[in-house]
Amino acid sequence: MRRRQAMVAVLCFVLFAMAAPVPAAPVQLPGAPGGEVATTPRTPKPAARPGAERNPGRSAPPKAVISPRERARRKQLFTRARAGDTAAMRALAGAYVEGALGLKRSQAKAATWLRRAAQAGDAEAAHELARMLMKGGEGVKRAPKIAAALFKAAAEKGHVSSMYWLAHMLEFGIGVPKDVKAARAWYEKAADKGHLPARVALGLMALTGRGGDRDFEMALDHFSKAAEKGDGWALNNLGAMFEMGWGVPKDREKAIIYYELAKERQNPAGLRNLVRLGAVQMTPPSPEHGHGTATGNAASGSTANANLPDNAEKAQASTTVDAGKNPARPATSAKRYNFRPGRPVVNTP
């Protein structure tokens, strides 16, 4: 009996020892008195993030690094903009568009700051917001009606570029009912303030009789004034007038002179007109560039730096207006150009 009790006691002791937790490994503490030891608890490994095994090379995008000066500039702009400074609002909008000053690109936030500045009466902000709404973009829905209203508000405050864009939208019925007469009036206001595209557009309307009477003398005057400033479309349109005899005597050589000047100013219609007249030839596409190039010089003495060379000035001085001749109506769309064999290209940008 006693032996059985002893065996049971030994068995219970063994089972108790097996079930007891294993103590942590002893670690010698450096410098501890008497060689005391202490135990360090075993901490479990942190669980891996979901998807870490699937994308081991993935890392968070680096933050934009900006200088202390840019950081101070950004803080200053936010402070001024929140205080109602419209110039600071426009600057912040530009920073959001370009991703400058450490700000993440966001057209939506840029539009928000421009809207605040426009509501405060800033004509430049209204113009920039209108341009943005005409095209639309990420986070900004295209809204031509609102763009037209903004252009009108800025134009009435004297913003010249808004006058031109309002006229453009009125001429082609973009966001507003089509009104060619009102478009011509706004083109005139912008042209009087020195806006070259408006002067070219007004000259084209005078040439074709859109929004008023056909007036070749007025068209020649507007094209000539814009050409003196180096406008490529004005030079091209002068060439078309001389080629077709629209209000001036037909003169193929003078037309080529103006087409050549337009081409030198990177005007695509000037080059196409020269190719059509055989004044230049297109070389085969090169392997490096993949497109053809024009060769040959149609007008000797014409340079890219001169607005109007001597021969072009003489050509302009000898023109006379013949109101008895009416030009064929060119294309009026600003997106497509009137280019057919045997006809010149006449249009605005």
- The candidate with the shortest Cα–Cα distance to 344, out of 207, 268, 235, 240, is 240
Report the pLDDT value the prediction gives residue 280, as an integer from 0 to 100. Answer: 73
Q: What is the mean pLDDT of residues 285-314?
A: 39
pLDDT band at 269 (very low <50, low <70, confident <90, very high): very high
The CATH code of the domain that includes 119 is 1.25.40.10
In a shared domain, residues 151 and 204: no
Give the helix ranges, DSSP H, for the chain.
Answer: 2-19, 68-82, 86-98, 107-119, 123-135, 144-156, 160-172, 180-192, 196-208, 216-228, 232-244, 252-264, 268-277, 310-317
In a shared domain, residues 219 and 150: no
The Cα 98–Cα 162 span in angstroms is 23
Q: What is the mean pLDDT of residues 312-332?
A: 34
Q: Determine, yes or no, domain membership for 184.
A: no
Q: What is the mean pLDDT of residues 312-334?
A: 34
Q: Which domain holds residue 117?
A: 67-159
Report the pLDDT value the prediction gives residue 65, as an integer from 0 to 100. Answer: 75
Whether the per-residue pLDDT at 38 is higher than 50: the answer is no
In a shared domain, residues 229 and 347: yes
Domain-terminating residue out of 138, 159, 180: 159
Q: What is the mean pLDDT of residues 226-243?
A: 94
pLDDT cut 70: percent of the chain above it: 62
Report the pLDDT value the prediction gives residue 144, as an integer from 0 to 100. Answer: 94
Whether the per-residue pLDDT at 300 is higher than 70: the answer is no
Region of poorest pLDDT, from 126-140, 164-178, 200-214, 295-309? 295-309
Q: What is the mean pLDDT of residues 271-290?
A: 68
The CA-CA-CA angle for residues 38, 43, 45, to 5°, reads 150
The Cα 279–Cα 322 span in angstroms is 27
In degrees to the nearest 10, what's the CA dihedral of 243, 249, 252, 255? -60
- Provide the domain count of the chain: 2
Q: Determine, yes or no, domain membership for 280.
A: yes
Report the pLDDT value the prediction gives residue 29, as an integer from 0 to 100. Answer: 37
pLDDT band at 137 (very low <50, low <70, confident <90, very high): confident
The Cα 346–Cα 238 span in angstroms is 9
